[in-house]
Structure formats: C-alpha cells, structure tokens
Structure 1
Amino acid sequence: MPRRIARIAAALLALEAVGVLALVGWQIVALAGADTVDPVSAVALIVLTAVGAVAVGAFAAATRAGRSWGRSGGIVTQFLIIAVAVGAITGPYAHPGTAAALAVPAVAGLVLLFLAAREAHTGDEPAREE
C-alpha cells in the first residue's frame, strides 16, 4: 500500500507524463503544418518523445504501487528536467520564465521522490527488494 508522499510523487510524475504527451501533440502539429526542416528527423523525435512520455507514465504507476524502480526512474527524470531548465536559462535565447516553470516542479518532484524512498523504508512493513 503506497503511502501519502509516494501517492503525491506519483501524481506529479503523472502530470509530467501528460506534459510530455502535450509536447508530442505540439510536435505533430508542427510536422503537419510543415514547420520542420527535416520531416524524417521530426518523426523520429516524435517517436522518442512518445516513448519518454510512456516511460514517465510507467514511473508514475510504479511509484504509486510502491516499486523502487519507479522512484529511481522518477529521480532520473527530475534531474533531466532540471538539466533542460538550466539550458533554458542560459545562452543567447535564455528564458527565465520557462526555466522556472520547468525547475520548480522538478525540484519538488525530486524532494518528494527522495522522501517517498525514505518513507518506503520506514514503518512496520519490511522493505521490498526488486
């Protein structure tokens, strides 16, 4: 039975999966509107982004179920999002608003996932090995 922090972390991961799916939709619209330089690369990027959305959704479901691999994958996801946020705040086309919109939930997710891992290894129930 997942505990409260794990459920909140899973909900945040699920929202991030929905956000990545929205990005897939945006990429499809760009491809359909001929707003891409290389259609083959655009299709490959759409497929990879969709795979990423499925992975983040799987991490959310696994975190909700109390599986350690879901928390681990979620932690890696948060670090990747933070890396994108750092990229959004640097360079000639820096956009602090975008960086903050990415970094704030990622840092919150990172904290929640670490707390969920700690929560999973405390209490009356023995820790599950996976």
Structure 2
Amino acid sequence: MRRSGVALAAAVVLMAEGVALGVVSLLELFALTSGRASSTPTGAALVVLTLIGAAALVAFGFGVLRGVSWARSGGILFQVIAIALALSSLSLQPVPWTFTLGLGVAGVAGLVLLILTARREGGSDPRTHRPDAD
C-alpha cells in the first residue's frame, strides 16, 4: 500500500529527529571520553539512553511508513516531550534560542503531521469498524 504524503512527511520528521538525537549522543560520548565529566558511569548511562531514544525515533519513522498505529502513537509521545522540553528551555538564562526554536518547531510540525496521519489512516483501519454497523 502506498503511503500518503502526510505520512511520508511525518516519517521524515521522525527519522531526522532520530538522526539528530544520535549525533547529539555521539557528541556527548566524545565529551565523556575527554575526561571532563563529573561522573563517567552516569554520563555513559545517559549516552546509552539517548541512543535508545534515537533508535526508537527512527523505528517510529519506519513504522509510520508501514502504517502501524504503535509507531504513530510512540511518535506523538516523543513530539509532546520535545515540545515540553523546548518550552522548559525558555526558563534558562540566557535562552538558547537555536535549541528552543529548532526543537519546538520540529516537535510541533511532527505532532501535527502525526495527528493528520492518524486521522487519515485511522479511518481505513479494519479494527475500528464494527461488523454490525454496516
């Protein structure tokens, strides 16, 4: 089955976020190995968890392309977390505008695309139709 343009755009956003998060985690890994970390085990655990999140975002992107609902719902959860993180970064002084706007815009765009995808593909899901309703 061919995916809609909205689903393709949502998948691209999810995969791009996953790749970006993977790059950030690799940068943190290099910083961790430079010896500037106050706690190496804690830093390593955070890098591993961040890589798991990056892999999840990429997997959600592929799942959205396949049209599975678990990928859309997982992607929506990540977008809500991204928006919350972007909003919370407004409390930092000075405000990291590049981070805040980049994460916030990507989160809102991903959320809107995933909701539109769920609305479009949810109607064709046979699990949502009752046999006695026809």
Q: Normalising to structure 2: TM-score of the pair? A: 0.88
What percent identity do the matched residue pairs reach? Answer: 34
Q: Which residue of 2 aligns with 1:112?
A: 113
Q: Which amino acid in the other structure matches residue 12 of structure 1?
A: V
Q: CA deviation at 1:92?
A: 3.4
- Aligned partner of 2:50 in structure 1 is 49
Q: Take 2:30 and 2:94, find their aligned partners in 1: how far apart are those partners?
A: 23
Cα offset for 1:46? 0.8
The aligned residue for residue 127 of structure 1 is: 125
Match status 1:18 vs 2:19: yes
Aligned residue type for 1:34:
G
CA offsets 1:40-87 (integer angstroms, 9 cap, x no match): 101111111111111111111100100011010000000011111012
Deviation at 1:100, TM superposition (A): 0.8
Alignment of 1:15-94 (within 5 A): 15-94=16-95
Which one has a larger percent helix, Structure 1 or Structure 2?
A: 2
Tell me, which stretches of 5 or more residues in structure 2 are unaligned?
Answer: 128-134
Gapped runs of 5+ residues in structure 1? none
- Alignment partners' CA distance in 1, 2:67 and 2:107: 20
Please state how far the C-alpha of 1:106 moved relative to its aligned partner.
Answer: 0.7
Which residue number in structure 1 is paired with residue 130 of structure 2?
Answer: none
Distance 2:70 2:126 in 1: 11
Opposite residue 95 of structure 1, the aligned amino acid is: P
1:94 Cα deviation (Å)? 2.5
Counterparts of 2:14 and 2:52, CA distance in 1:
15
Cα RMSD (Å): 1.5
> Would you say how many aligned residue pairs link Structure 1 and Structure 2?
127
Greater C-alpha radius of gyration? 2
Residue 128 of structure 1: how far off its partner (Å): 4.4
Structure 2 Cα separation of the partners of residues 33 and 11 of structure 1: 33
